Amino acid sequence: MDLQALIEPTVCGMGYELVTLERVGRGLLRVYIDKPGGIDLDDCTRVSNQLTRLFAVEHVDYDRLEVSSPGLDRPLTKAADFVRFAGERVQIRLRLPIEGRRKYVGLLLGLDEDRVRMRSGAGELAVALADIESARLAPEFAMKEVARRKA
């Protein structure tokens, strides 16, 4: 059974984006959702309740369900993510190295004809979407601001 194809219409119909899902050992199913403005506990509860009913009807085998936000370091899993998050700092890991490197961190410039463009310390990089093993947002935190809040 293709869980992504089963879950996505339900989650999208509720006004959320299905970021990713993963099956973890011992029957755990994790579902990551997002929406503009972010996710709160009520959103997770609402989606969890709906998916529990869906899984009962569709006889999905699982022991535990976790629904949560993808976090600040949200994975970029779809082509649309590379358009939506243009201008943000990202970390990209390639399937095969370019100039001896597989991992790049820098500013996401966007997506042009299935090529992800970014600017890093190594210069500008354009890589085919299919050549990316994983990508995620890489937010920077202002340590001075954190230290000031603690004071």
Residue 100 belongs to a domain with what CATH number? 2.30.30.100
In a domain, 113, yes or no: yes
Full-model pTM:
0.80
- Considering only CA atoms, which of 88, 122, 91, 127 is closest in space to residue 108? 88
pLDDT given for residue 143 in this prediction: 65
Assigned domain for 144 exists: no
pLDDT tens-digit series, residues 71-124: 999 999 999 999 999 999 999 999 999 888 999 999 999 999 999 999 988 789
75 closest CA partner among 38, 34, 37, 111: 34
The pLDDT score that the predictor gives to residue 130 is 95
pLDDT category at 151 given cuts 50, 70, 90 is low
> Is residue 128 over pLDDT 60?
yes
Q: What are phi and psi of 60, to 5 degrees?
A: -80, 130
pLDDT digits (tens, 9 = 90+) for 23-49: 988 889 999 999 999 999 999 999 999
Domain holding 101, by residue range, is: 79-137
DSSP state of 72: T
Say if 58 falls within a structural domain.
Answer: yes
How many other CB atoms are there within 10 angstroms of residue 89's CB atom? 15
Statement: residue 142 has pLDDT above 80: no
pLDDT for the residue numbered 148: 58
How many distinct structural domains can be found in the chain?
A: 2
Return all residues near 65 (Cβ < 8 A) that are at least 6 apart: 28, 29, 31, 48, 51, 52, 55
**Residue 145: inside a domain, yes or no?**
no
pLDDT of residue 135: 97
Mean pLDDT confidence for 117-134: 93
